[in-house]
Amino acid sequence: MIEGILSGITTALTPTNLMMVFIGCFAGTFIGMLPGLGPISAIALMIPITYGFDPAAGLILMAGVYYGAIFGGSTSSILINAPGVAGTVATAFDGYPLAKAGHAGKALAIAAYASFSGGTIAAVFLLLAAPALATVALSFQSADYFALMVLGLTAVSAFAGQGQFLKAIMMTIVGLMLATIGTDAAEGIQRFTFGRLDLLDGISFLLLAMATFALSEALMTILKGDKLSEEAHKATRGQVGSLKLTREEVKHIAPSIGRSSILGFLIGVLPGAGATIASFLAYGMERNFASAAEKLKFGKGSLRGLAAPETANNAACSGSFVPLLTLGIPGSGTTAVMLGALLSYNVQPGPQLFIERPEVFWSVIISMYIGNIVLLILNLPLIPYISRLLVLPSNLLVPLILFFSLVGVYLVSFNTFDIYLMVVFAVIALGLRLFNYPLAPLILGFILGGMMEENLRRALNIYDGYSFLWERPLTLCIMLVTAFVIAVPVVQGFRQKRAIEQAGEGG
Amino acid sequence: MSRDRLSALILLGLSIGYGVLAFRIKLFPGSEFELFTARTMPVGLAVAGSIVSFLMLVLPSRTAGDEPARKVLNWGKVAALCGLMLFYGATITRLGFLASTWLFLAGGILLLGERRWAVVLGLSVAVAVGFWVLLSKLLGIYLEPGLLL
């Protein structure tokens, strides 16, 4: 292992790869900041660009873009309440009120320090835990994988927001339905292809992600008018304020950062659960831990409420590399795109990656440390200047976003049918957004659909029926956790309803 | 009917339609005796989708009554942009990457209200040519030549 780490350090510290980290972090911050372009789109756009690179350099660049995009997303969340990335939605809850109160600089600094701490602590966990986790995870069977995926998808829905549970579950199901389009992996039978050759391979993940996120976000900006630019003008015209934190403030947020790093990392490791869930969970956890007085501040500019999701989403980014690198299972939508990129380099992620390509595995982990340092020392001081990019008028920005998205997908398949399909999905996604349906569960359902079906098939065949759900202790435990995750929003909903009724009777 | 109910009804229709198609998936002879076939997952999803959308339809909607006031939405511009994207798809191989990209960008910028010709032409030409050079010359990606390059 030591040799692997040393070869990783040597690879990561070559001038080319160091430059990749710099470029990746910078490009990622820029792209993540633009509302409508998140890390999925950013990495997807990098795939055609990195075709000629060696795997380590390509992966390092993409990891840099990933971190940068999450950090950039935090900036637009804080400054204009427009998260470019789903993982930074929770950041806006307290970051935006802070910025509105004139503490934008402080909020950005907390976001940067929290991201740095979360990313670094999680990278240490990754370094220590990845080999061990790979061994543990290798003992997982299909039944456990199936249960884990059900848990992941349920958790996404359960934390989608108040009153959104059913909508999120429905979106997960729609995502799973879309995943069944194409040729069935086990038997080679065509399903829902309507006789079209273009649909034989199913819908590409990149296409769906770009259409439902980048395209529909950009179209939404146009549909709702140019309000975003006005707000961005307002936010960036004024000074962002001091970037310094007091000793008390650091002491105040330090425990949150510690807790959220661990939580974020663990959530990131889970298949299906990524930065978004981690950030929401960390936010919820901090609110539960907070004193009654502190609780009232949540949503109105609580420092802990900002630090927790920021730490957790970066920690989850590191965590999501664990299943990707050790098992070949993406932990989030973004790592799913990376999986595609790795396969295009002829690198098959999994336990074999440790043995066959240790320099790839370890250099990515080492470059995460470097990436975090780059973000802190390069991006933070530049934020007031980079944030001026937010004032780019949408009549110039939107055609560019549409172009980058369409070309990003077209350059992978070179099939114009994909462009038409993207427009159709973008319009549907736009409708779903207008009806307040969350789209992240749809994407996750889509990613996990194929794997879920495969694992269910295997489990059913091994156990000759559904008995694996209660016969295998690990599967049973995971299913019980799933039941708990479903029960929480239901019980909360009933409690709130009762509270409202009682308040109504009392008043 | 509230917007939530309407969307639930559409999704219920979708789930039922998906279910009907799921039962039409052709199977190999004899596979009806197997535990898991190509139909198993789609049928399960159709049932789950129908149940969830039915629940959405019948359960009291929490957001009913406090829907935000409807804003004037720019449907015209969105429709035009979608048309433009379809046009891009139709011309990218016929006219060629460079020409169709330039037309798409210039059209999009004009459509969204930019009237300074220097900006419209400058940006669209710069991005189209820059990308074309990057892809075909620097990265060596093969772009199908069209009528106009």
**What does the pLDDT look like over A44-82, one tens digit per residue?**
767 667 766 787 888 788 888 888 888 888 887 888 777
Check residue A328 and give its pLDDT: 66
The H helix count followed by the E strand count for chain B is 5, 0
Among B7, B34, B115, B123, most A C-beta atoms within 10 A, so best to mutate, is B7
Tokens found for residue A145: 């994988």
Condensed to tens digits (0 to 9), the pLDDT of residues A477-486 reads 989 988 988 8
Q: Which position has the higher pLDDT, A382 or A427?
A: A427
Residue of B nearest to A407 (CA): B101
Q: Does A225 touch chain B (CB under 8 A)?
A: yes
What pLDDT shows up at residue A74? 84
**CB-closest option in B21, B25, B81 to A402:** B81
Is residue A228 very low, low, confident or very high in pLDDT (cuts 50, 70, 90)?
low
Residues 6+ apart with CB under 8 A from B95: B103, B146, B147, B148
CB under 8 A, 24+ apart: contacts of B131-136:
B131/A407, B131/B101, B132/B97, B132/B98, B132/B101, B135/A48, B135/A411, B135/B97, B136/B97
Chain A environment of B90 (Cβ under 8 Å): 416
Residue A492 scores a pLDDT above 80: no
Residue A392: per-residue pLDDT: 72
Residue A333 has pLDDT above 70, yes or no: no
Query: What is the percent of chain A where pLDDT is above 70?
Result: 85
- Window A:45-64, CB contacts with B under 8 Å: 48-49, 51-52
Where is pLDDT greater, at B2 or A460? A460
A174 pLDDT higher than 90: yes
Cα first-last separation, chain A = 67
Distance CA B35, CA A129 (A): 38
What's the pLDDT score for residue A318?
83
- Angle A180-A429-A78 from CA coordinates, rounded to 5°: 120
Q: Is the pLDDT of residue A507 over 50?
A: no
Task: Tell me what the mean pLDDT of segment A184-213 comes to.
Answer: 86
Chain B partners within 8 Å of A402 (Cβ) = 81, 85, 104, 108
DSSP run (H or E) holding A298: none
Contact B112 A395 (CB under 8 A): yes
pLDDT given at position B2:
81
Rounded to an integer, the average pLDDT of A20-42 is 78
Q: Among the listed ranges A103-112, A397-406, A495-504, which one has the minimum average pLDDT value?
A: A495-504
Q: Do A177 and B45 touch (CB under 8 A)?
A: yes
Task: Give me the residue from A396, A410, A422 closest to B109, CB to CB.
Answer: A396
Residue of A nearest to B75 (CA): A223
Q: Which residue of A has its CA nearest to B59?
A: A166
| pLDDT band at residue A286 using 50, 70 and 90 as cut-offs | confident
Backbone angles phi, psi at A349, to 5 degrees: -70, 155
What does the pLDDT read at residue B89?
A: 94
pLDDT band at B14 (very low <50, low <70, confident <90, very high): very high
Count the helices and strands in chain A (H runs, E runs).
25, 2
A162, pLDDT greater than 70? no
B74, A427: Cβ pair inside 8 Å?
Answer: no
* Mean pLDDT of all residues in A212-237: 70
Alpha carbon of A393: minimum distance to chain B alpha carbons (Å)? 10
CB of B114 within 8 A of CB of A396?
yes
Whether B73 and A223 have beta carbons less than 8 Å apart is answered as: yes
Residue A177 has pLDDT above 80, yes or no: yes
- pLDDT tens, A416-474? 999 999 999 999 999 998 988 888 788 778 877 888 898 899 999 999 888 988 989 98
Task: Select the residue of B45, B56, B93 nearest A176 (Cβ to Cβ).
Answer: B45
* Cβ separation B41–A461 shorter than 8 A: no
Q: What is the mean pLDDT of residues A278-301?
A: 83
Average pLDDT over residues B124-146: 84
For the stretch B51-97, pLDDT in tens is 999 998 888 765 544 455 556 788 999 999 999 999 999 999 999 99
* Per-chain mean pLDDT for chain A: 81
Beta bridge partners of A183: A190
Q: How many CB pairs under 8 A join A and B?
A: 161
A419 vs B74: CB contact, 8 Å cut-off? no
User: How far is CA A61 from each of CA A20, A128, A365, B60, B136, rounded to the nearest angstrom?
Assistant: 5, 23, 12, 49, 21
Alpha-carbon gap: B89 to the closest alpha carbon of chain A (Å)? 5
pLDDT score at A88: 78
Distance, in Å, from the CA atom of A124 to the CA atom of A118, rounded to the nearest integer, reads: 10
pLDDT score of A191: 93
Looking at the complex, does the CB of residue A411 fall below 8 Å from at least one CB of chain B?
A: yes
Q: Residue A406: pLDDT above 80?
A: yes
Which is more confident, A353 or A185?
A185
- At residue B104 the predicted structure's pLDDT band, cuts being 50, 70 and 90, is very high
End-to-end CA distance of chain B: 52
Interchain pair A430, B78: CB under 8 A = yes
Name the more confident of A367 and B10: B10
Asked if residues A28 and A71 have their Cβ atoms less than 8 Å apart, the reply is yes
Average pLDDT over residues B95-106: 93
Predicted confidence at residue B64, as pLDDT, reads 46
Give the nearest partner residue to B56 out of A166, A399, A406, using CB atoms: A166
Q: What letters, b where the CB count within 10 A reaches 16 and e where it falls short, cover A260-294? A: bbbbbbbbbbbbbbbbbbbbbbbbbbbbeebeeeb
Run of H or E residues at A191: strand A190-191
Which residues of chain A have a CB within 8 Å of the CB of B144?
A: 414
* CA A135 to each of CA A72, A267, A472: distance values in angstroms, whole numbers, following the listed order: 35, 18, 19
